[in-house]
Amino acid sequence: MLVGYARVSTAEQNPAHQIDALTRAGVAAADVYVDYASGAKASRPQLDLVVRLVRAGDTVVITRLDRLGRSMLHLVTLGAELRERGIGLRVLEQGIDTSTAEGRAMFGMLSVLAEFQRELIVANTRDGLAAARARGRKGGRKPRMSPEQAAHAQQLYDAGTHTVAQIAALLGVARPTVYGYLDRGPGTAGAGAETEAR
């Protein structure tokens, strides 16, 4: 069975030329699924449906590779998943058909390029973090409370004079933030305050 997939970036764009190409390639009009989503958008309900529907021996047909994958890595991963399940992939404009040796070789080359791209991203990120550390900058989020604020919150909490909600309001932070900074071990004087704040 042939299952067609088409994608346009916005609802205003017309997928008719893709649908026409898919039907000319032998896909029944009822078996063409269309997403209206940008290339990088994660949510593609029709593509997800196609991947769930196809079975071993079926072939997914698209007009161009960029209609299918959000990125090269996503494309290759999806191609590998289809291949492992015994499902073919035919790309009309680029002449790729994974049911042939040539098509599988083309996908293999794309796979190598995607892995190379991923390794470059990892290496660049690692180099950027190392350079930032060398300049004295640390990665990660800025703390929501300064050490002085955290100490003040702990004092108020231990004294039992303020609830956690009151401490949060006083310091201008959310209640869960205060909980994250408090040492609430056994025997803490503010244990009643915690209960009151809940």
Question: CATH number for the domain including 40?
Answer: 3.40.50.1390
Distance of CA 129 to the CA centre of its chain: 22
pLDDT at residue 193, rounded to an integer: 41
The CA-based dihedral angle spanning residues 113, 25, 82, 108, taken in that order and rounded to the nearest 10 degrees: -30
Same domain, 24 and 69: yes
Same domain, 109 and 161: no
* 118 burial via Cβ count (<10 Å: 0-12, 13-18, 19+): middle
In contact, 98 and 79? CB cutoff 8 Å: yes
Q: Which of 50, 58, 56, 54 is nearest to 7 (CA)?
A: 50
Q: Is residue 191 part of a domain?
A: yes
Bridge partners (DSSP) of residue 89 are: 60
Long-range contacts of 144-147 (CB under 8 A, 24+ apart): 144/173, 144/177, 145/171, 145/173, 145/177, 145/178, 145/181
Same domain, 95 and 158: no
pLDDT at residue 139, rounded to an integer: 61
Q: Is residue 95 part of a domain?
A: yes
pLDDT at residue 34, rounded to an integer: 93
Active site residue 9: yes
Same domain, 96 and 162: no
Domain that holds residue 188: 147-197
Q: Is residue 6 part of a domain?
A: yes
Q: Is residue 56 part of a domain?
A: yes
pLDDT at residue 120, rounded to an integer: 77
| Strand boundaries in the chain, DSSP class E | 2-8, 32-36, 59-62, 88-91, 96-97
- Distance, CA of 108 to CA of 93 (rounded, Å): 18
Q: Which residues of the chain register pLDDT less than 70? A: 11, 39-42, 70, 110-111, 114-115, 117-118, 138-143, 184-198
Q: Is residue 121 part of a domain?
A: no
pTM value is 0.55
Same domain, 107 and 172: no
Same domain, 101 and 152: no
Same domain, 36 and 95: yes
Same domain, 10 and 106: yes
Using CA of residue 62, residue 67, residue 70, residue 73, what is the dihedral sign? positive
Q: Is residue 123 part of a domain?
A: no
pLDDT at residue 114, rounded to an integer: 59
pLDDT at residue 19, rounded to an integer: 94
Same domain, 81 and 168: no
What is the side-by-side strand order in the sheet with 2-8? 32-36, 2-8, 59-62, 88-91, 96-97
Q: Is residue 30 part of a domain?
A: yes
- pLDDT single digits (tens) 120-142: 777 878 878 788 778 777 666 66
Structural domain count, the chain: 2
Same domain, 78 and 162: no
pLDDT at residue 142, rounded to an integer: 66
pLDDT at residue 123, rounded to an integer: 81
pLDDT at residue 28, rounded to an integer: 95
Same domain, 106 and 11: yes
Q: Which of 9, 71, 99, 146 is catalytic?
A: 9
